Amino acid sequence: MLGLGFFGWIIIGGLAGWIASKIMGTDAQMGIGMNILVGVAGGLIGGLILGLALDVESGGWWFSFFTCLLGAVLLLWVVGKVKKN
């Protein structure tokens, strides 16, 4: 997954972060920069979680996108729970 390069991470992270913020209903609170950060952080989180059971590195662009999306949704869910408390 790290083989995507810097711009690959920005593109996939931005898209995954934006879609995750739409799914979690936080899009109005986030800008493009935060969407990218959430997507990239989500990619790391998703990669760590899925890497325990699957070969994440050879998944390609689509698998990387869904890994980022899964991690970003999880990250936004955790942040939402922490903010409520």
Question: At 29, which amino acid appears?
Answer: Q
**Model pTM?**
0.82
Q: What digits encode the pLDDT tens for the residues 18-63?
A: 999 999 988 777 788 888 888 888 888 888 888 888 876 777 778 8
Helices 32-51, 5-24: axis angle to 10 degrees equals 100
3 state DSSP class of 3: helix
> What is the per-residue pLDDT for 62?
83
Compute the distance between CA of residue 55 and CA of residue 67 in angstroms, rounded to an integer: 12
